[in-house]
Structure 1
Amino acid sequence: MSQVNGAGSPRLIDVQDVTRVFHVGGEEVRALRGVSFGIGRGEWVAIIGQSGSGKSTLMNVLGCLDTPSSGRYMLNSKDVSRMTDDELAVVRNEEIGFIFQTFQLLPRETALSNVELPLVYRGMRAKERRERARAALAKVHLEHRMHHRPNELSGGQRQRVAIARALVAEPSMLLADEPTGNLDSATGEEIVRLFEELHRAGNTLVLVTHEPKLAARCPRAIRLSDGEIVADGPGRQVALGDGHAPPAQAVGGA
């Protein structure tokens, strides 16, 4: 019998009793302390916590950039917690679309070429990957800027290119690290509305953030503190603690 999340959807992500221990200067640092949760296909979940809460470590585990010290992490029915570095690289390329705070676009390449990049790594033929990249840019409403380089785009447009790049290979989930952190409030709001569109289209989104107002916009939020889950529930309740919706135009960089 397949495992399901609270909403009844088959689990895409299943994290069971995951720990992550680092050894720094002869001392043991327990960044994650027995974390367990599931995320269903099509869910939009925020992982929220302050600096030192363990959210960045958890993001690295979810993104297959690191492996647990103990416990199990299943992604799309694959036990990635026991994989080699080469096997993890394949999973990252096939299953995960990354969205970074700093965009990480190639400055000399056009928006279209930047979006094509994951398909180049897959060995896809030029014509097909160009068509896929154009379709991905259309999904983020940026097809009219596909031949512009990053320095010719606004911050919000650059983040849209980064989101299109994450979408182009049709990954199992989009994993976003502080996606509005480098944007002003109005532009951040535009990006959140785009995430809402992607969620309605059936994409699985996991946002890692320290911003309560961003986490409050997600249907579900998981709060970490000292490497443990201290709350898991409706986004605005977990993020704001009072059940009130965040005001409009309130999501973005400080």
Structure 2
Amino acid sequence: MTRLTPQTVATETPKERRLRVRKIVRILDRTYPDSKLALNFTTPLELLIALILAAQCTDERVNQVTATLFPKYRRAEEWARIPRATLEAEIRSTGFYRNKAKAIQECCAALVERFQGAVPDRLEDLVSLPGVGRKTANIVLGNAFGRPAIGVDTHVGRLAQRLGLTKETNPDKIEGDLNPIVPDPLKVRFCHLLQAHGRAVCLARKPDCAACPLNRLCPFPVQSSKIRSARRK
């Protein structure tokens, strides 16, 4: 197989791109057979809380914090009535703790008021909650409810761009480009695999293209080498 270039990606048909996505998933599935969402949760509410805490924070730190919090607060009503200062202190290590505490409590209050304390399983309902955008809503739908959904986090967005699957930078527009080319049964798995690959090989600052199993399915090595050559001139 010849190496993919930005030029060949530009002339790819939708059918060819869908086939390439399937190949990408097969290869990454062999490479990361145990990949899954990095956040720990057992209920849709726990995942929603964890995602709010994960903003500009590592998943590892969030898991450390929620390991203590989740056994203490199990229902939306309980989260909504925690004294704000107490919640802020308990989540302080995740950063931006005042904004996160406010978002958690406003979201949980809305769940109690509008959905009897249950996390809804429809996108339009989820994004109507305070502090919940499409990325968070799609991650909840895909991972807590088993729906075909693509949540564009930093890893999924970065790798989708490098793989030539989108030219967009806005996560919602990236989702719009990915949805037609990723089959519904593979959508959630596709995200898990890109997240795993983004952490292990396709790093933000220094991707290891030489060791990448997707090397020939990705135009980025060619593109980045041209950029490096231009900088040296």
TM-score of the aligned structures, taking structure 2 as reference length: 0.29
Query: Whose radius of gyration is greater, 1 or 2?
Result: 2
